[in-house]
Structures are given as C-alpha cells and as structure tokens.
Amino acid sequence: MKVLLLSSPCRYFKTMNTPILIVDDDPDMCWAISHIIESQGFNVITAYNGEEACFKLTHGDFSIVFLDAKLPDMDGLEVARRASTLLHEKPRIVLVSGYHYYDDPVVRHAIVEGIICGFLAKPFTNKELLKTLHTLSQAIE
Amino acid sequence: MPDNPFKKKSKNHFELLYNMLLDAIPSSVLMVDEKLHVVSVNQNFLLKSQRSNANTVGRPLSEVFPTVILENTGLEERIRNVFRSGSPVNGQKMTYRAPGVPIRIYYYSILPIPTNQIMLLMEDVTEQVRLSEEVRRVERHLASVVESASDIVLSTDIEGRILTWNSAAEKLSGLSSHEVHGRYFFEFCDTTQKQPVRLIFMRMKNSNESHTTEFHLLTPNNGGSILISWVFSPMKDDYGQTVGTVVVGRDLAERRKLELQLRQSQKLTALGVMAGGIAHEIRNPLAVCSSAAQFLLEDNITAEFHKECSKKIQANIQKASAIIENLLRFARSSLDTEMVEVELNAVLKETIDLVANQAKVQKIQILLPMQKKYILVSGVSGLLQQVFMNIFLNAINAMPEGGVLRIVVDTFEDRVVVRISDTGIGIPSGELDKIFDPFHTSSPVGQGTGLGLSICYSIIQQHLGSIQAESRYGEGATIIVTLPLL
C-alpha cells in the first residue's frame, strides 16, 4: 500500500474551481504531477521551495496541495504546519515523498495531528495519484 | 670442651694432619680394604650417614651402606674391579638415602691407594643438582616464552650480530636460526634501512632507552619483504654495561588488515547516514520516470509529448544512475591502496556530490570556491574521499538546524591546506584533543562508532600529512587537513 488517506481531520473546503498547488524542488517532478492533474481538468500552480509555497498559500486560494517532504529551505511538514496555523480555511495537503514510507511514524503523527490529509510515496503510479486526487475532491464536493 | 689440637700429642705427625684434613673436607671419605671392610671414615661420612665410628670402622660395606644402594650402583663390584685393575673410577652418580634424612645425591670416585686399599670419595651434590635443575627450568621457561611469542624476538651482540632468533622470526622471515646466526641484523633489512639500523645499534651502546621504528624485513627466500614495527632495547649486564641489543618486531600486516576492516566498517556507517538523503534523491527521478512511462501508455498523445516523456525518462535514469555510481565508488574504493597522483579538487568535488543530498535534506549550504589550478598530491583517491566524507558528515551532523559548510583550499610552496568549517555547535575545549582518539564520540549511544576521525587521522598520516581541529564551543568547528604537494 502506497497511498494513505484519512479524511476526518480536514473539514473546511471550498469548491473545486480553485487551482491545485504542487510543491517540489525538482522541476521534472512538478512536470509529472502537473500533467496528471491537468489531464483531469484542474488548474495547477507550482512552487519550488518552502518559502514560495507559504507565500502562494497565504496569497492564493487552494483547496488541495501536493507537497514534497524535503524542500531545500524547509521540511514539507513545516510548510503544512504553517498552513494549518496561518490559514483560516485549511487546504487538504497530501505529502508526496521518497524520504518517508507510508507507515512512517512521522507521517502517521502528522495525519493524526491533522496537518496533512494523506501520504503518497514516490515513485507512485499515475492511477494512485488520481485516486488520491478524486478522493480529496469528492470529499470537498 | 674440644681437645686443643696444639696440645695434642701424636706418635705420627702426618697421621694427625691426614686425619684433620679428611675431617675438614666437605666430602665423605671411606678407606676400604680388599675384603670390602671399612678401614676408616671421616667425620663427614658419619654425619651424613648418621652412623658412629664404632659401628662403621671394621664393618663390611654391605653393613654400612643400605642394600638398595649397593645393588643399584654395583658399588662392591666396582671396588673389586679397581682392586683388580688398579685404575680409578671417576664421577659416578649415587643417590643415597640414610634412614630418617632426605634423599641426597652424591658423585663418587674410587681411587686405588698403595696400601692395598681404595679410597671411596663421595661428594654431596644434592644442592648443586637442585640448583642446576632450577636454572634449567628457568632457562626452559624463558626460552619457551621467547619461542612461543608471536612477535619476532632476537638478540644481538653489541655490534648488531645476531645471537638468537626465535621461531616467530624464523616463520615470518623464512630464515632459520642457524642461517642468520652471527650475521649482522642490518643485512636482513630493507636497502634504505641498512644505514639507519647500523646507527640504531651504535646508539644502543651508550643508551638506556628503547628505540621504536618501522621498516621492512627482507624475506629472501620468497624474494619479498614484510613491514614490521620494531623496538630496539639495549641489553645490560649486572654492572649496567651494554652487552647487546634485544630487538622485538611485530608484523604490521595483521594491524593493517584490522585498519582496513575499520575503514570499511566506518564507511558503511557513513553510507547508513547518507541513506536517507539518497533514498529521497533516487526516488524522485524514479517517480518522474514512472509517471512519464505511464503517460506514454495513454492513447492519443501528441508526438511532441511522446518525445518529451522519453527525454524525461532518459534524463532521470541518468540522474539516478549518477547517484548510484558515486555511492558504488565510495563503497568500493578502499580496495585500492596504491599511492598515485591525485587531483585534490576532483576528490573534494566528488565527495561533496555524495553528501549534497544529505546537506540538502538538512538545509545546509555547501560553499567551495572554484579553484582554477590543479592541486596534485600523492595518495589513494578513495581513502582521501573517505577522510573528507567523514569530516563533511561530522560537520553536517553538527548542524541539525541547518547552516553553512565552508571548504577553503590554500596551496603553499610544498603543501596544500584544506580547511573545512561548519557553523554548528562546535567542540568543547576539553574534547578537542580527544576527537582523533578511536571510539571517542559525542554522538548518543548507537548513533556513532566513534571511529570516524581516528580513521581520518591514520589515513592522513599514511599520506604524510596532518589533521588538526580548531573550535570554540558554540561557534562552529574547523578541521584542517594538510597534505604534501607533489
């Protein structure tokens, strides 16, 4: 099992018309994720480091975020933590990482804390990513 | 009251003198006639045999000596032979036990004398036999200590000519003890060492101190040589005069083997530390390849996107492969040990590539100003890489909250100095001297072997360089590696 989703802790969502934020310092990784998500008719915005992600999160309107765990300037979980404290309407964040594994205590803890909604291990299949995306967007609708 | 010998009157002055003489000597003397009767005995015999003059003189030997002794030594027959042949019997051994006294050992002689008697001279050698047995036992013990040692133990005369050569020396050199005996020790030393070894022996003559050194011992029978760590010590006699030299040598091959094992295990520890960073770094390109390959499986994709996917796959496989190649090189490099010309910038660059992942994960910036010129040293690239890897990982570990790892390379006339500084917690001043000791570690139990810097130290020493640390607690640390330039 590579996908882990828990829907209960994140509650406040807006409609599906908002873009999806992809945070990863590897442009190729952003390219791949963007392509999968765009194929489903969603808009995508990318950020390449933690500061940029935080800035875009506070100045934009995102309901779903695909977030890399290791960014050059901060941990992905730090970005998620800031988002959950700074934003009134918390986006649903999926941690996408090659550094952690799905039953990693750090990941489980973050899910229980409610700062992320799910975890996707790299490398993932496009189907797995789509399934995650659909589960999240259905929860929003 | 003993008789006063000066007042004693005797018809025969010589008889008196003779008897006094016999009583004074520490041997037992018996005069025996042809019938094997005792004619006279001296005091010593009476004392040792616990007999009186009365029950000895005039009695047959068979009454005076215990039957067992007479049977074992064939004493009576020997005496008869002396009477017959007129030639003496010398230096026979006899073990004599008189009733109620401990066993004694005698050497006896049977001497014919002109008055148709023989003189039986018995000398008590019990004590000498016991002492010489003790001496032999101690000698045997010492010899077996020297022989059983796995180190080379040899002794030479004052000029350095070999006197003894133990079995470890025979085994390691392939030269037997009699092949080397009397030859100069320096003859068996490496060509470049002959003169220095001669000097060591000269110094031993007037020195009280040992001399420690390392050089190759020739093993002429297989045409090679082995590296030995030597200790020369002057051998002194009871008067403090140097009478020779004791040389003890230990085969370094075993130690080198252990060092290699330590280096390898330390390297595995480093690999373990890097594993996290590497996992992340390899899974990223894998994820890109995986997604791109799945795009290619979709129907109705444009030729342009098809091309883009293929390019991404190829580029990311390259990326993953480069990470693995660096790792392989690092993991295997301790196998080559030959010193060759090494370009130091390349070593530093390759090592930085290896730790870059880990640094990124910990938000550490690595600064290495570009060097235009080549810096050539003589060394083993893999070992030098291991040294820098260790220092970099230590620096990275010292900065859990991120920071800057700065590497400054300066060249001087004959040497290159690499300063590696971090902005971490620094090293407490008390710990600064200890950081190169084996097993000294500041990591929590289970997180460090403590071997890292001691291995760096031994590698840099092998490269004829030096390694030092500077630090002020709370202000980061700097490790300074100096290597001779080619």
Q: CA of B403 to nearest chain A CA: how many angstroms apart?
A: 11
CATH number at residue B172: 3.30.450.20
Range of the domain at B90: 13-128
Whether residues B122 and B151 share a domain: the answer is no
pLDDT band at B451 (very low <50, low <70, confident <90, very high): low
User: Measured between alpha carbons, how far is B335 from B161 in angstroms, rounded to an integer?
Assistant: 40
The answer to whether residues B45 and B38 touch, using CB atoms and an 8 Å cutoff, is: no
| Residue-averaged pLDDT of chain B | 85
pLDDT of residue B327: 73
As a whole-number percent, the residues of chain B with pLDDT over 90 amount to 31
Whether residues B150 and B121 share a domain: the answer is no
Q: Which of B282, B284, B366 to mutate to test the interface with A (most CBs of A within 10 A)?
A: B284
What percent of chain B is helix, strand and coil (3-state, nearest 5)? Answer: 45, 25, 30
> Per residue in B39-53, pLDDT tens?
999 998 898 888 898
Cβ neighbours of A49 in B, within 8 Å: none
CB contact under 8 A, B287 and A74: no
> Per residue in B229-241, pLDDT tens?
899 999 988 888 8
Cβ neighbours of A121 in B, within 8 Å: 283
What percent of chain A is helix, strand and coil (3-state, nearest 5)? Answer: 40, 20, 40
Q: State which of B73, B104, B128 marks the end of a domain.
A: B128
User: Measured between alpha carbons, how far is B51 from B148 in angstroms, rounded to an integer?
Assistant: 51
- Partner B contacted by A36 (CB < 8 A): yes
**DSSP per position, B54-76:** TTTTTSBHHHHS-HHHHHHHTHH
CATH number at residue B395: 3.30.565.10
Cβ neighbours of B288 in A, within 8 Å: 26, 28-29, 31-32, 123
Please name the member of B285, B288, B294 whose beta carbon is closest to the beta carbon of A125.
Answer: B294
CB contact under 8 A, B283 and A32: no
Task: Establish, for the pair of chains A and B, how many residue pairs have beta carbons separated by less than 8 Å.
Answer: 66
pLDDT of residue B273: 67
The larger pLDDT score, comparing residue B7 to residue B291, is at B291
The answer to whether residues B465 and B380 touch, using CB atoms and an 8 Å cutoff, is: no
CB contact under 8 A, A126 and B295: yes
Answer whether residue B324 is part of any domain.
Answer: no
Mark out chain B residues that contact chain A at CB-CB < 8 A.
Answer: 276, 279-292, 294-295, 312, 315-316, 360-361, 363
Cβ neighbours of A29 in B, within 8 Å: 284, 287-288
- What is the CA B101 to chain-centroid distance, rounded? 50
Whether residues B344 and B448 share a domain: the answer is yes
Radius of gyration of chain B (CA): 43
The count of domains in chain B is 3
| Residue-averaged pLDDT of chain A | 85
The larger pLDDT score, comparing residue B274 to residue B485, is at B485
Whether residues B417 and B483 share a domain: the answer is yes
CB contact under 8 A, A98 and B276: no
The answer to whether residues B408 and B418 touch, using CB atoms and an 8 Å cutoff, is: yes
Please name the member of A72, A98, A127 whose beta carbon is closest to the beta carbon of B287.
Answer: A98
Answer whether residue B55 is part of any domain.
Answer: yes
User: Measured between alpha carbons, how far is B121 from B44 in angstroms, rounded to an integer?
Assistant: 11
Q: State which of B251, B270, B286 marks the end of a domain.
A: B251
CB contact under 8 A, A123 and B294: no
Whether residues B179 and B90 share a domain: the answer is no
Whether residues B466 and B353 share a domain: the answer is yes
CB contact under 8 A, B290 and A35: no
A120, closest residue in chain B (CA to CA): B287
Please name the member of A73, A122, A126 whose beta carbon is closest to the beta carbon of B283.
Answer: A122
Please name the member of A73, A99, A126 whose beta carbon is closest to the beta carbon of B280.
Answer: A99
Q: Which of B278, B280, B286, B291 to mutate to test the interface with A (most CBs of A within 10 A)?
A: B291
Out of B170-179, B265-274, B398-407, least confident range: B265-274
Answer whether residue B192 is part of any domain.
Answer: yes
3-state per-residue secondary structure call for B337-356:
CCCEEEEHHHHHHHHHHHHH
CB contact under 8 A, B282 and A29: no
Please name the member of A31, A98, A125 whose beta carbon is closest to the beta carbon of B280.
Answer: A98
Whether residues B98 and B218 share a domain: the answer is no
User: Measured between alpha carbons, how far is B141 from B274 in angstroms, rounded to an integer?
Assistant: 55
Q: State which of B128, B153, B173 marks the end of a domain.
A: B128
> Per residue in B240-256, pLDDT tens?
888 999 999 988 887 77
Asked whether the predicted pLDDT for residue B417 surpasses 70, the reply is yes
- Partner B contacted by A26 (CB < 8 A): yes
pLDDT of residue B336: 62
Answer whether residue B440 is part of any domain.
Answer: yes
Which residues is B450 bridged to in the sheet? none
> Per residue in B212-233, pLDDT tens?
888 889 888 877 888 898 999 9
Block mean pLDDT (10 aa), chain A, length 141: 46 60 94 93 93 92 91 88 88 90 87 92 92 85 57
The first and second tokens of residue B172, run together, are 């390691």
Cβ neighbours of A98 in B, within 8 Å: 279-284, 286-287
User: Measured between alpha carbons, how far is A50 from B363 in angstroms, rounded to an integer?
Assistant: 11
Please name the member of A32, A70, A124 whose beta carbon is closest to the beta carbon of B361.
Answer: A70
Whether residues B344 and B378 share a domain: the answer is yes
Nearest to A97 by CA among B271, B321, B292, B287: B287
With a CB cutoff of 8 Å and minimum separation 6, the contacts of A115 are A77, A80, A81, A83, A84, A93
Question: Which of A 75-104 lie inside 8 A of B, CB atoms?
Answer: 97-99
Answer whether residue B107 is part of any domain.
Answer: yes
With a CB cutoff of 8 Å and minimum separation 6, the contacts of A55 are A47
ipTM of the complex: 0.83
A24, closest residue in chain B (CA to CA): B284
pLDDT band at B6 (very low <50, low <70, confident <90, very high): low
User: Measured between alpha carbons, how far is B439 from B93 in angstroms, rounded to an integer?
Assistant: 65
Asked whether the predicted pLDDT for residue B459 surpasses 90, the reply is no
CB contact under 8 A, A31 and B276: no
pLDDT of residue B23: 87
CB contact under 8 A, B286 and A122: yes
Whether residues B91 and B30 share a domain: the answer is yes
> Per residue in B359-374, pLDDT tens?
887 888 999 887 778 8
B365, closest residue in chain A (CA to CA): A72
Whether residues B355 and B384 share a domain: the answer is yes
CB contact under 8 A, B288 and A98: no
Answer whether residue B6 is part of any domain.
Answer: no
Answer whether residue B236 is part of any domain.
Answer: yes
Enter the DSSP assignment of A29.
Answer: H
Say how many C-beta atoms besides its own lie within 10 A of residue B396's C-beta: 24
Give chain A's domains with CATH numbers.
Answer: 3-140 (3.40.50.2300)
Instruction: Note the residue count of chain B.
Output: 486
CB contact under 8 A, B290 and A123: yes
Asked whether the predicted pLDDT for residue B67 surpasses 50, the reply is yes
Say how many C-beta atoms besides its own lie within 10 A of residue B247's C-beta: 26
pLDDT of residue A5: 53
**Residue written as tokens 């480093």?**
B270
With a CB cutoff of 8 Å and minimum separation 6, the contacts of A126 are A36, B291, B294, B295
Please name the member of B279, B288, B361 whose beta carbon is closest to the beta carbon of A32.
Answer: B288
Whether residues B226 and B359 share a domain: the answer is no
User: Measured between alpha carbons, how far is B199 from B190 in angstroms, rounded to an integer?
Assistant: 14
User: Measured between alpha carbons, how far is B458 from B461 in angstroms, rounded to an integer?
Assistant: 5
Please name the member of A26, A99, A125 whose beta carbon is closest to the beta carbon of B290.
Answer: A125
* Residue A3: φ, ψ to 5°: -110, 135
Whether residues B340 and B453 share a domain: the answer is yes
User: Measured between alpha carbons, how far is B387 from B403 in angstroms, rounded to an integer?
Assistant: 21
Answer whether residue B282 is part of any domain.
Answer: no
> Per residue in B305-347, pLDDT tens?
999 999 999 999 988 887 787 777 676 655 566 788 999 998 9
Angle value at C-alpha B308, between A27 and B279, nearest 5 degrees: 45
